[in-house]
Structure 1
Amino acid sequence: MRTGETTAGGRQVPAERRHALVSLARSLLVAGGIVVGYFVLPMTRLDGDSLLRLLAGLALIAALLAWQIRQITRSAYPRLRAVETLSVTLSLFFAVFATAYHVMSVDDPASFTEPLTRLDAAYFTVTVFATVGFGDIAATTETARAVTTTQMLGDLVLVGLVAHAVVEAVRTGMERQERRT
């Protein structure tokens, strides 16, 4: 078993465990930063550029995901890298749609069955993703329904294609490791 650095107590920490802890910490920091950014950054105006920003956010997520999948295949710890990839991708995906819902609600409170706070918008995003559909909040305008439909389709892509791509990247990374040893 490989060992890592010596701790303050003088004992060796296995490299795999150290990498797992660093990966977990990095995932939590990035996801936490995205959540904090969602709740504190100013976003209250819907304008002509809002749709473009939503599309740009989705394109950024797709580009980041493609880069992350490539990194999984090259990583010494592909499973850990896959967990990081999913945590960042899902956090960004949720933040992009929660932001869109919140801004639409601020601009036109009739977009949903009730005006959405940031927390309400995040809640709605998660209920749509989880396909729970409690019915307490629903999109009522065409624009809100179009964005919600876009999220639903994106959810299917995330659950199906992205999960498959991440699993394949882990498999490729593991095979690459086995060839090295």
Structure 2
Amino acid sequence: MTRSRRFVFWAVLRPTLTTACLLAVYFAVPLTRSFTGVTSVVLGCSLGALGVLVGWQAKAIVRSPTPLLRAVEALATSVTLFLVVFAGSYCLMENNAPGTFSEPLTHVDALYFTVTVFSSVGFGDIVPRSQPARILTTVQMFGDLVFLGLVGKILLDAMRRGVQRQGRDADPT
């Protein structure tokens, strides 16, 4: 296998395995506890950890021999983590207070709702009914905008710096 094929192979395999693991954990966790203040703190800490992960990924992109592939990998991992954190929160919220959403949320329903909010499609088949659910959905909407704008910019800038670094390293002058 050539070096470039090996990079592509790993750039596809790592985020695929990471996504599979994150989804496996999400579906394996019962998520039957109550959504409490502690849950809100855990949600905030999870989003903070995502921010740290993005920063670490940006540094890894700059140092990578294949910054474009590494940026795609970082984006795939970050999006999955972001979506799973909110889906878990919605599941906990619905299990804590049935009727919080227009229909009971299973793991699949919560993930589906999270993706429809993230993609701004909002089919309307599942809607938040309670004030806390609407607040959390609004937080996700703002988070989506920040994620798409800021995280996208950070990863794109890191990729650009990585490509420039490669150019400087390749230029013997």
Give the TM-score range, shorter chain. Answer: over 0.9
Determine the C-alpha separation between the residues in 1 that align with 2:25 and 2:161: 34
Equivalent residue number for residue 135 of structure 2:
146
Q: Secondary structure at the match of 1:43?
A: coil
Deviations 1:157-178 (A, max 9, x none): 1111111111111110000000
Find 2:17's aligned residue among 29, 44, 50. 29
Structure with max Cα Rg = 1
Find 1:45's aligned residue among 33, 41, 65. 33
Matching residue's letter, 1:148: T
Matching residue's letter, 2:145: L
Deviations 1:72-110 (A, max 9, x none): 111111111101101110010000000000000011112
> Does 2:143 align with 1:157?
no
Q: Give the structure-2-normalised TM-score.
A: 0.95
Runs (4+) off by over 2 Å: none
Question: What is the aligned length?
Answer: 169
Equivalent residue number for residue 8 of structure 1:
none
Determine the C-alpha separation between the residues in 2 that align with 1:48 and 1:170: 38
Q: Secondary structure at the match of 2:90?
A: helix
Deviations 1:130-160 (A, max 9, x none): 1111111111111111110111011101111
Determine the C-alpha separation between the residues in 2 that align with 1:48 and 1:115: 22
* Unaligned stretches of 5+ residues in structure 1: 1-12
> Does 2:67 align with 1:78?
yes
After the TM superposition, which residues 60-71 of structure 1 pair with which residues of structure 2 at under 5 Å, given as runs? 60-71=49-60
Equivalent residue number for residue 137 of structure 1:
126
> Does 2:167 align with 1:178?
yes
CA RMSD of aligned residues (A): 0.9
The answer to which structure, 1 or 2, has the higher relative contact order (CA under 8 A, 6+ apart) is 2
* Unaligned stretches of 5+ residues in structure 2: none
Equivalent residue number for residue 122 of structure 1:
111
